[in-house]
Amino acid sequence: MYFDLANLGGKLSYKLLSSTVVPRPIAWVTTRSDHGHLNAAPFSFFNVFSGEPPVACLGIGEGIHGPKDTVNNLRANGELVINLVSESNVVSMNITATAFESEIDELEEAGLATVASTHVAPPRIAASPASFECRVREIIPLGTANHLILVNVLAAHIIDEAITDVDRCRIDASRLDLVGRMESPGWYVRTRDRFMLKQQVKPLRDA
Ligand SMILES: Cc1cc2nc3c(=O)[nH]c(=O)nc-3n(C[C@H](O)[C@H](O)[C@H](O)COP(=O)(O)O)c2cc1C
How far apart are the two ends of the chain, measured CA to CA in Å?
40
Rounded Cα distance between 83 and 28, Å, is 5
What is the per-residue pLDDT for 55?
98
Angle at 114 between CA 109 and CA 116, to 5 degrees: 140
Q: Give the CA distances from residue 111 to residues 1, 40, 83, 89, 157, in Å, rounded to whole numbers and listed in that order.
A: 45, 12, 16, 11, 21
pLDDT at 16 (0 to 100): 97
**Above 70 in pLDDT, residue 207?**
no
Residue 97 Cα to ligand 1 middle (Å): 6
**Per-residue model confidence as pLDDT tens digits over 129-152:** 999 999 999 999 999 999 999 999
Model confidence over 17-70: pLDDT tens digits?
999 999 999 999 999 999 999 999 999 999 999 999 999 999 999 998 899 999
The per-residue pLDDT for 34 is 94
pLDDT band at 191 (very low <50, low <70, confident <90, very high): very high
Q: Whose CA is nearest to atom 9 of ligand 1?
A: 60
How many domains does the structure of the chain reveal? 1
Q: In the chain, what percentage of residues exceed pLDDT 90?
A: 92
Give residue 142's domain range.
Answer: 5-206
Q: Which of 32, 68, 178 to mutate to test the pocket of ligand 1 (most atoms within 8 A of CB)?
A: 68
Q: Has residue 206 got a pLDDT over 70?
A: no
Q: Cα(193) to centroid of ligand 1, in Å?
A: 26
Torsion of CA 68, 69, 70, 74, to 10 degrees: 110
- Confidence at residue 89, expressed as pLDDT on a 0 to 100 scale: 97
Find out whether 85 and 179 touch, Cβ atoms under 8 Å: yes
Which residues sit with their C-beta closer than 6 Å to ligand 1? 26, 39, 41-45, 59-61, 63, 68-70, 94, 97, 99, 181
Cα dihedral 141→147→151→157 (10° resolution): 180
pLDDT digits (tens, 9 = 90+) for 39-53: 999 999 999 999 999
Q: What is the CATH number of the domain that holds 130?
A: 2.30.110.10
Binning pLDDT at 50, 70 and 90, where does residue 187 land?
A: very high
Q: Which of 125, 133, 121, 85 is nearest to 108 (CA)?
A: 125
d(CA 81, CA 127): 13
H or E element, residue 67: strand 66-67
Residue 98, amino acid: T
Give the confidence band of 202 by pLDDT, cuts at 50, 70, 90. Answer: confident
Mean pLDDT taken over the chain: 96
Q: How far apart are CA 51 and CA 156, in angstroms?
A: 13
| Rounded Cα–Cα distance for residues 105 and 111 (Å) | 10
